[in-house]
Amino acid sequence: MIEKVDRTTYDESLDVIARVTGRTPNEIIVDLGLSWTQVYWLARWLKENRLLFPPKFKPVKVGQFQCHRCGAWFVEEYKTSHFKYCPNCRRR
């Protein structure tokens, strides 16, 4: 089933492909010769690639850690780095 693709989506899709390949949208139209739906799906697949388009916000994760000072286990939310010390030891 072929979806109908409107003009703004087509232009946005061309911009995505142009950004990834380093070419102008006109070069993409002439050189590749793809239909509107092919351009749309190619751009959609490229945008789903996390290496080409990394997420803007890091997700919040929950982890269980052991304190390096007192040895107690604790649960904390974190984004990038793990905790070394429990909340009680951090206050000291």
Whether residue 16 contacts residue 41, with contact meaning beta carbons closer than 8 Å, is answered with: no
Mean pLDDT (10-residue bins), the chain, 92 residues: 58 90 89 87 88 84 92 91 88 78
Question: Could you tell me the pTM of the whole model?
Answer: 0.53
From CA 68, how far away is CA 16, in angstroms rounded?
47
Distances (CA, A) of 21 to 43, 52, 72, 83, 84: 11, 11, 51, 40, 43
Is the Cβ–Cβ distance between 58 and 44 less than 8 Å? no
Tell me if 16 sits within 8 A of 45, measured CB to CB: no
